[in-house]
Amino acid sequence: MSTVPLTWQVRSPAKILPWTVPLILILFILPRALDPYGTILLTYGLLMAIASIGFNLLLGYTGLLSFGHSAYFGVGAYAVALMFKYWHVQSMELFLLGAIIASVVVSALFGFICVRYTRIFFGILTLALSQVLWSLAFKFYEITGGTDGLRVPTPTLLGIAIDPNEDKILFLARNYYYYVLGFFLACVLVMWVIVNSPFGKALQAIRDNEIRAEFIGVHIRKYRFVAFLVSGVFTGIAGALWVVLNGLTTPDILYWPFSGEIVFMSVLGGFRTFTGPIVGAVVFNYLKTYAVGATVYWQALMGAILVFLVLALPAGIVGTLAQVIARLRHRFAR
């Protein structure tokens, strides 16, 4: 299917702890070093990373390219916004619970339909279904606010409300950052367990050879369905975390170019690696922010980067680094 080597995968905890622990520590102390704006930017990156590892369970591990992940991100975000609008919910935990339930329902429904197909038909089906949601959010002005979108105020985190005297930006950059970081670490851990579990191995077997996987007794459609569900829920959680930080949700996050951005992130980091989508999401977020700030033609810049990436570095940032390290090791070993 591709020329990217499949071998570089983290397996034993003893191997990964020496570099994950310092990284996590850095993530914990980083808000002390960054200004609030920098922290909020990083928060966006971390929550998008949750969406992109969710997405990559399908692309990297199951071999299904979804071009409709905006749907589950949007469902998470709109679930939060609607819970606030109609039930005046203020608690982040309830928001997340609602977003998870909504994304389970939607991704179960869409997944049931989509996993019957693979390759380009899978991509087009996911895209068409996501556009159904987009057009509903776009047209039902009374409920979704149409293109104006819906506002979401800063909720309580673990029951603690924002101090009325406190600056909202500071609250988001301190308390909310750690909240998102907690979710990010939990999601990464869960995903790491999933892809290294027998279930994850079965998905990779399906990706590499569907027929052989079926021969050894893997129920392909069921496995794909569960992967789709998990993927959708991760993306839904990211959507819920995003809408609180952004304060507003519009139909743009349901429109199909946003799905393209999620694909972009995973490929930028390297979708054949576990850490690739995480790095990709964070880097993409910085890249896009700086590109938007630097020029009105940021889209052209991002497009050029994407074309270059696909042409020259199809293994992405992490995949390419891994290749370089492997080559160096090989050379020094001799």
Residue 5 is a binding residue for other proteins (CB under 8 A): no
Q: 106 to 125, contacts with other proteins by CB under 8 A? A: 113, 116-117, 119-121, 123-125
Looking at 30, 306, 313, 321, which residue binds other proteins (CB under 8 A)?
306
Number of residues that bind other proteins (CB under 8 A): 46
Shortest Å, Cβ 177 to other proteins: 30
Looking at 47, 57, 59, 317, which residue binds other proteins (CB under 8 A)?
59
Whichever of 120 and 169 has its CB closer to other proteins, that residue is 120
- SS3 of the chain: CCCCCCCCCCCCHHHHHHHHHHHHHHHHHHHHHCCHHHHHHHHHHHHHHHHHHHHHHHHHHHCCCCCCCHHHHHHHHHHHHHHHHHHCCCEHHHHHHHHHHHHHHHHHHHHHHHCCCCHHHHHHHHHHHHHHHHHHHHHCHHHHCHHHCEECCCCEECCECCCCCCCHHHHHHHHHHHHHHHHHHHHHHHHHHHHHCHHHHHHHHHHHCHHHHHHCCCCHHHHHHHHHHHHHHHHHHHHHHHHHHHCEECHHHHCHHHHHHHHHHHHHHCCCCCCHHHHHHHHHHHHHHHHHHHCCCHHHHHHHHHHHHHHHCCCHHHHHHHHHHHHHHHHHHC
Residue 127 is a binding residue for other proteins (CB under 8 A): yes
Residue 135 is a binding residue for other proteins (CB under 8 A): yes
Looking at 248, 310, 324, 325, which residue binds other proteins (CB under 8 A)?
310
Looking at 29, 33, 216, 296, which residue binds other proteins (CB under 8 A)?
296
Q: 218 to 277, contacts with other proteins by CB under 8 A? A: 255-257, 260, 263-264, 267, 271
Q: How far apart are CA 68 and CA 89, in angstroms?
A: 28
Amino acid at 158: L
Q: How far apart are CA 283 and CA 302, in angstroms?
A: 12
Looking at 138, 178, 199, 286, which residue binds other proteins (CB under 8 A)?
138
Looking at 10, 24, 65, 185, which residue binds other proteins (CB under 8 A)?
65
Residue 292 is a binding residue for other proteins (CB under 8 A): no
Q: Which stretch binds other proteins (CB under 8 A): 97-105, 190-198, 229-237, 299-307?
A: 299-307
Shortest Å, Cβ 124 to other proteins: 6
Residue 299 is a binding residue for other proteins (CB under 8 A): yes
Residue 147 is a binding residue for other proteins (CB under 8 A): no
Residue 290 is a binding residue for other proteins (CB under 8 A): no
Residues forming the site for other proteins (CB under 8 A): 1-2, 59, 65, 67, 113, 116-117, 119-121, 123-125, 127-129, 131-132, 135-136, 138-140, 255-257, 260, 263-264, 267, 271, 296-300, 302-307, 310-311, 314
